[in-house]
Chain A
Amino acid sequence: MSINFEAFKEHPFFDELITPKGNARAYARKMYSFINKLEAEELDNRQKGAELAIKQMGITFRVYSKEEGAIDRAWPFDIIPRMIPLKEWNRIEEGLKQRVTALNMFINDLYHKQQIIKDKVFPAEVLAKSVNFREQCVGVKPPLNIWAHICGSDLVRHSDGKVYVLEDNLRVPSGVSYMLENRLVTKRVFPELFETYSPMPIDDYPADLFDTLAALSPRKGDKPEIVVLTPGIYNSAYFEHAYLAQQMGCELVEGRDLVVGDDDVVYMRNVDGFSRVDVIYRRIDDLFLDPEAFNADSMLGVPGLLRAWKAGKVALANAPGAGVADDKVVYSYVPDIIKYYLDEDAIVPNVPTWRCMDKDSLSHVLENIAELVVKPANESGGYGMLVGPASTRAEREEFKELIKKDPRNYIAQPTLGISTVPTVVKGMVEPRHVDLRPFILSGKKISVTTGGLTRVALRKGSLVVNSSQGGGSKDTWIVDE
């Protein structure tokens, strides 16, 4: 009896495992009865077991605080898996493939003919004010015409039961290593569950990523030299950079390990001299990639890297400039973008979005700000946003001023009643809000992770799932029941 039924009754949100009446959803019945049989103490022990495993495995992320500086925290994890039935997942997967295909066509168009602007589907002024559009990339033809090889799209389920795309991360999306590690931790703490369930395996991601990257190599035939470029140990996702390099059997490099020769070829510095690099999976933001081309003060990048890329001597994933479609204003056009390039309706819908740059929307947003979530166009990690219902009057006034000053930089969305999953809280099970970040790889073919990373807001009532702000994560099971 560890499930706190009171907390699920009169629950105004969609719970992924439990119906509003307090019964298990069909695919979660065995999970439900297993968890419910565990005494509070046992449940607590399992949770502690997971935390210990995470500590031993060294699964960490870095956070910054004014008081302590950079500290390495154990990855917060909740042991109860989030489940999605296979049939529903198949449709989501189709939707994500459709979305990323269209986004890559869109990015390629923006850096070449800009036909979508000429055809008046996408306004020139949105592009003009995009902070992630890179003039330096205009006219470049990356292999396969793909710019965003790795995309992480955030999905949420609203209280209407439907799944929506909340945002697309096309720059350097992170989290996939935690998705993979979460499964290992679950196997350690709940081996019994794997006797009754066979969640679809997820561990082919590193091999898929390797294939995606290898296909980009400018040297055909040879075994391509692929490296993962990290900003270094102080980056919050350093764990993941090392993890992926290890899983793919590639070299993990920092900017100082690489050098671009007069022949525009990228080399890495070895103990016995220099050797050529073909593909760079870069986890450094555009502006820090190359001090010659972008931010001249960057100590993280490699001088001449953009030159080498433009000369076709090295492949970069994601391509510089791919972030232009990461913008939350651009996001609001994605259904139109899909229609324009593929002549299809979006399979997974967008969250309805008001663009503050449109006059009518602006006045709607200003009038109804207390009910809306306001987001800046180009922030990630949950920073710089206003959650209307949870805000103070002063905060709302401040945001109104910010929006009026720079309407292009803001969008607003209804406050979603995002779905919950039962979560262990002091030996009891209570609902906590979750989202889902699947990762989509685009190369010769498109592949989607089976499920993705489920992030959970551990604080009661909180909707903020970012690990930098008190969020945790869960294993995600796609089940064919």
Chain B
Amino acid sequence: MLSRVAETIYWIGRYHERAENTARLIQVNTNLTLDLPKGLMPQWEPLITILGCEEEYAEAHPELTERRIVNFLVSDEKNTASILSSLAFARENARTIRDILPREGWEVINSSYNEALEKKAESYSRAGRQYYLEDIMNDLQHITGLLAGTMNHDLAYDFLNLGRKIERADMTTRIIDVRSDNTVPKDVPEIRPFEDMLWMSILKSLSGYQMYRQSMQVRINRQDVLKFLFCDHLFPRSVAYCVHNIEDYLSRMPVPRKYKCGTHLEKLHDLLDIPIKKELDNEKLHDYIDSLQLLLAKLHLDISRSYFPAIAS
């Protein structure tokens, strides 16, 4: 398998997962605006920090309003991290490996981007946005399912999933960060009655509410939600689950010549059961999330060095 093709397909996995999770992230906040009383309305600004695009935003927009921020994250083609940009990059990538993808796979990747582009005006209102984001998430699930059902489960497919799971692990931590960061007022007495609802909202945005109930058998509470989202071995969006998948894929890949992805994986493992061992307050949670993200970034770098074309070739 060509190194360039491996890189291209890995990034299709990442871009699609990024688009899907950005949609989920926006859905959490939108749901919170509906659930919380007026004085406790969530802010939108932290989403930009969570997704790491403060500079791009500051350059493009003078003010921070819900509308501007959401448009920036959803449909702004100048923002390279927007959902629409991610879909566009994934499509361009898919185009360069049309020979690898099953024909139907390319057609759905192509048409879901076309549709997202054509209908982007629908995302401008709060009401339209819900449907718009749901459609995108459905399309992306469709693509995932279609590829799972029509593509050879070979090395190319492993690279696709490798990209997808690294991005998913990373994005799950970012979605949890909505709570540890500042979107809603922290630890003020008024928020306490709503605390469990906030966590429920996060679970729902990860399609994890029912699975949480089945798996944890307890009512929603912060500590158990964190355990579930970080450490559960059965829920496919938990960080631990993704890391196990990543290990699996890497174990099937040719042994890299120079770099050792294994060291980063071991370190990730050591970190994974921390939420089981101790209770993390918001500040510690935020730091914990940072260290996970850092390790995932290092893992990505070593995968690039091991399998992808050298940057200056």
List A residues at the B interface (Cβ < 8 Å). 55-58, 228, 232-233, 238, 242-243, 245-246, 250-254, 256-257, 268-273
Contacts and interface: CB of A to CB of B under 8 A. Distances in A.
A271 B6 contact: yes
Given A242-B99, A245-B99, 6 more contacts: A55-B114, A232-B96, A238-B95, A251-B2, A270-B2, A272-B1
> Which of A58, A250, A268 has the most C-beta atoms of chain B within 10 angstroms of its own C-beta?
A58
Contacts of A228: 99
A413 to B, nearest CB: 39
A246 B98 contact: yes
A58 B309 contact: no
Given A242-B98, A246-B99, A252-B99, A57 B6 contact: no
Nearest to A253: B2
The 5 closest A-B pairs by CB, nearest first: A272-B254, A246-B99, A245-B99, A242-B98, A58-B110
Contact of A271 (B103, B111, B254): B254
A73 to B, nearest CB: 13
Given A271-B155, A271-B254, A233 B107 contact: no
17 contacts: A57-B110, A58-B106, A58-B110, A228-B99, A233-B96, A242-B98, A242-B99, A245-B99, A251-B99, A252-B96, A252-B99, A268-B2, A269-B2, A269-B4, A270-B3, A271-B1, A271-B155
A233 B95 CA distance: 8
B110 A270 contact: no
Given A55-B114, A272-B254, A256 B99 contact: no
A452 B206 CA distance: 52
Interface of B is mostly: helix
Given A57-B107, A58-B110, A272-B254, A257 B99 contact: no
A271 B3 contact: yes
Contacts of A233: 92, 95-96
B72 interface: no
Contacts of B254: 271-273
Nearest to A227: B2
Contact of A56 (B3, B98, B100, B107): B107
A270 B309 CA distance: 9
B253 interface: yes
Contacts of A272: 1, 254
B313 interface: yes
A228 B1 CA distance: 14
B110 A56 contact: yes
B97 interface: yes
Contacts of A250: 99
A238 B98 CA distance: 10
Contacts of A246: 98-100, 103
Interface in B252-303: 253-254
Nearest to B156: A271
B2 A243 contact: no
Given A57-B107, A245-B99, A271 B313 contact: no
Contact of B3 (A55, A245, A252, A257): A257
